[in-house]
Structure 1
Amino acid sequence: MKVRLFISLLILVSLMVACSSGESDDNNTASNGDEVVIDVFNIKVETTDQLNNLVEEYESENENVSINVTTVGGGQDAPSALQAKFSSGEEPSIFLLGGLSDTEKYSEYLLDVSDMESAKTAIDGTLDGATIDGTPYGIPLNIEGYGWMINKQIFEQAGVDPASIDSYQSFVEAVETIDAQKEELGIESVFAFSAKEDWVVSQFSSHFTAPEFDNNIQTAFKADQLNFEYGDRMKEYVDLFNQYNYQPILSLDYSTSVEELFANDQVAIIHQGNWIVPSLNSIDESFVKEKLGIVPLFVESDDEGKIVAGPSWYWGINKEKDEEVVEESKKFLDWMYTSDTGKDLIVNDFKYIPAHEGYDPEDISDPVSREVYEYLLNGKGKIWANNQYPDGFFSEALLPEFQKYLGDQQSWEEFEKNVSQSFTEMR
């Protein structure tokens, strides 16, 4: 009897130990309390390696922290993937917000970041894109700008000085000049606009919608109407690149446009931003320094060209995680943007334009990123209006209607009417 009792107790103790050692907290704190696990949801595929390097550096300085990075983007539907994470109960500790629409969508999960060093050192105005009712809920990732990214070498070989493009008409003339010499230049086409990518189409539209919203993030976010006040100029640009684009334009994706055609001197112009710098550097280290340039769009006026520039994405912290995870997430982001090591990686590894104070502009190594920074400082930058569109608008309404126009399935007037109607309905 005593033997059976002893064995029963031994089994019970063993089971308890097994359960204890195997048990972990769903909110990312290990049972022994020594290691904190942070799950990061990243959509910046072009800097995946750089983020992984930064994480390794942080982990080496903080042995009690383990950071898992999930990257979804490029040709994948990142917003849907993030939503799926939350729907499945596998929500990340830190994730990227694409402006006020995302901030509102995930507001029940988001931490007020106003007490963080990386919020206090953010450049004036850069928190606006993730601020609701005066409370900031996101740390700006960086400053990004976009417009027509050009291969200056192809322009110069065609006898076109990029600096001479000072109006819409001079841009048209440059395009026609390059197209007339395609064979001699050894290029496939002038443009490689990625009309398959909803985010590329959405970003392109910002050039024309930002001035309608008074170039104000809050105005754009609260707007319930899109009237295409600059629709005529938008149509002119669309017709121009469609005529001289690599075809079939409707199936042209980011990778083909940027990494195959543009990086290999097969096209002269793409619609992208300074985030392509790391990708280009990985393919040809000389491309960015010797060939890459940016040309603005002339929308409100033929006398002044502008690009879209400002914070594009914000890091949000999931306040529903365990306190230890939330605190370590804050420390990680503060380290990223305010420590000497983090700042060095942001500028020299990521090649980012910093959205925080404490950086030397001369540290911005590539000329295009410096040019974007100068556009912003000189008041020639527009807001990321597309990040303030209604949730799902650019993928469910703007892209399909835009593609219908490019595919000759509807008129421009029908495009404007259908998109405007969807904008109001989805708001």
Structure 2
Amino acid sequence: MKREQRWMKLSVLSLIMMLILSACGSKAATESNSASEGSSSESVKITLLNSKSEINSQLEQAAKDFHAENPNITLEIVPVGSGQSPFEKASALYASGSPTTMMMLDTGDVEKFKDRVLDLTSESWMKDAVDNSTAATTFDGKNYAFPFSIEGYGFIYNQNVLDQAVGGTFDPKSVQTTAQLDELFQKIAATGKSPLIVSPMDWSLGAHYLGLAYGGQSPDRAKVDQFITDLKAGQVDLASNAVFNGLLDTFDLMKTYNIDKASPLSGTYERGPEVLGKGEVGIWFQGNWAWPQISSFDTADGKYGFLPVPVSNNPDDFGNTQISAAVSKRILLDKEKSTPAQQEAAKKFLDWIVYNEKGQDFLVNQASIIPAFSNITLEPTGPLGKSISEYIKAGKIEESMSTLPADHWSKLGASMQKYLADVIDRAGLASEIQAYWSNVK
């Protein structure tokens, strides 16, 4: 009997111990699960280096909208300073040990940072990226950048001003040669308005306008690339190149009819959309990214479009009926300093842009960007985005030079500024351009 009582006491004691251990295990599991849930909802701050100053306010609003749907993620927009290239800014941030989580860079900058950023090849949006939009940022089979925007540029025209100039409805197809452009400038001037404004920023003159001298060499991109190779090797005589000279013939017209002719280097970017939107000038050399600024001054009821920049008096020559366009800006994700949580939050923001209704609205309607993703069916609402899209659909595109060296626009933009101000002549400009390329490694 005593033995049975002792056994029963031991059994009860064992049962109590098992219950205690089970309770402890359950509590530990609960605490572990709670901790895990807490870590997934911890607050994360990420940053984006923005090299498109004209959409800074739109990006800041997008950051707020994204935060509203993802309360644990705070996104701060860090603008690139005036006069500084995206490459220089990103390099400086890395040198200081504090790179942004995301960097919006030019296409040609991506390869220089590929060892410091994430491989994005497996991201879900890759399957929806339009054809060839990631080719320029893919190295050894890995894509390192998110194609943020397709942009195009040329002569933006104010339809109302040009209608008045031609005494009817202006037809953009009526200007396909340098001589026809000259005639149009004369007609605008005859109304008492200025034909156009030339914005003297080095990035506009060096990357965009001068870029046409390269991209306009041939519709075959392989021949354009060979032209650049020959420039580096000193095997091109720009002074006798037909496209280069034709482009400068057009630029000489622009200098003649420039509203700021008396002080050509005094202009600012902000002045361009104001005088065009108010109808003080008929034409501005710029891109579709300028619509948010133009719209704030618009008195033409949104009637604007693009004219190509002619390079000859033969309408059949390549470039005379084409608009320069390409994927221009890319977003890269840092892997050196950002935490796994920050990286995932940044990826979530990119997905939000591509697949979320508000993200798509930001891209197309608010920032007036032509998306590089086939799943986004929103049509550009701004007239400039619509105009570029029409050129794309018609196959009238000259691929923009988006892989130029990082210092091209600043160094050769300065050369173009000297030519604009008549500090150097055409031969001097050609000489400076060839000297630059001979030093490019």
Q: By the TM > 0.5 criterion, same fold? A: yes
Residue in 2 that maps onto 1:349:
366
Structure-2-length-normalised TM-score = 0.81
Contact 1:193 1:241 in 2 (8 A): yes
Unaligned runs of 5+ in 2: 1-37
Residue in 1 that maps onto 2:342:
325
Query: What amino acid is the match of 1:87?
Result: A
Residue in 2 that maps onto 1:53:
61
Contact 1:40 1:68 in 2 (8 A): yes
**RMSD of Structure 2 on Structure 1 (CA):** 2.5
The partner residue of 1:290 within 288, 292, 302 is 302
Contact 1:217 1:383 in 2 (8 A): no
Residue in 1 that maps onto 2:409:
394
Q: Over residues 104-148 of structure 1, what are the superposed CA-to-partner deviations in whole Å (9 max), with x where a residue is unaligned?
A: 221221211111122221111111232234322111112111100
Distance in 1 between residues matched to 2:152 and 2:53, nearest whole Å:
17
Unaligned runs of 5+ in 1: 1-29
Query: What amino acid is the match of 1:64?
Result: N
Deviation of 1:364 after TM superposition, in Å, equals: 2.0
Residue in 1 that maps onto 2:249:
236
Are 2:380 and 1:364 equivalent residues in the alignment? yes
Matches within 5 A, 1:3-402: 34-72=42-80, 77-99=85-107, 101-159=108-166, 161-163=170-172, 164-182=174-192, 187=193, 189-212=194-217, 216=221, 220=225, 223-226=228-231, 227=236, 228=238, 229=241, 230-247=243-260, 248-258=263-273, 260-284=274-298, 287=300, 289-299=301-311, 302-303=315-316, 304-320=320-336, 321-360=338-377, 363-385=379-401, 387-396=402-411, 398-402=412-416
Moved more, 268-277 or 80-89: 80-89
Q: How many residues align?
A: 386
Distance in 2 between residues matched to 1:221 and 1:348, nearest whole Å:
38
Contact 1:206 1:308 in 2 (8 A): no
Distance in 2 between residues matched to 1:141 and 1:32, nearest whole Å:
28
Note closer, same or farther for the CA distance 1:33–1:256 as it changes in structure 2 (3 Å cut): same
Structure-1-length-normalised TM-score = 0.83
Partner secondary structure for residue 91 of structure 1: coil
Contact 1:196 1:251 in 2 (8 A): no
Query: What amino acid is the match of 2:268?
Result: D
Partner secondary structure for residue 405 of structure 2: coil
Note closer, same or farther for the CA distance 1:215–1:328 as it changes in structure 2 (3 Å cut): farther
Deviation of 1:73 after TM superposition, in Å, equals: 5.3
Deviation of 1:414 after TM superposition, in Å, equals: 2.1
Deviation of 1:372 after TM superposition, in Å, equals: 0.5
Distance in 2 between residues matched to 1:254 and 1:221, nearest whole Å:
33
Distance in 2 between residues matched to 1:98 and 1:326, nearest whole Å:
21
Deviation of 1:162 after TM superposition, in Å, equals: 3.5
Deviation of 1:316 after TM superposition, in Å, equals: 0.8
Deviation of 1:238 after TM superposition, in Å, equals: 1.1
Deviation of 1:92 after TM superposition, in Å, equals: 0.6
Partner secondary structure for residue 158 of structure 1: helix
Query: What amino acid is the match of 1:38?
Result: I
State, as a whole percentage, how many aligned pairs show the same letter: 26
Partner secondary structure for residue 232 of structure 1: helix
Distance in 1 between residues matched to 2:406 and 2:229, nearest whole Å:
12
Query: What amino acid is the match of 1:199?
Result: S
Query: What amino acid is the match of 1:256?
Result: R
Q: Over residues 322-365 of structure 1, what are the superposed CA-to-partner deviations in whole Å (9 max), with x where a residue is unaligned?
A: 1121122111101111223312332222222111011225x321
Distance in 2 between residues matched to 1:63 and 1:234, nearest whole Å:
51
Deviation of 1:278 after TM superposition, in Å, equals: 1.3
Partner secondary structure for residue 439 of structure 2: helix
Q: Over residues 258-303 of structure 1, what are the superposed CA-to-partner deviations in whole Å (9 max), with x where a residue is unaligned?
A: 2x3222222111111111111222334x64x533221112337523
Larger gyration radius, structure 1 or structure 2: 2
Query: What amino acid is the match of 2:49?
Result: F
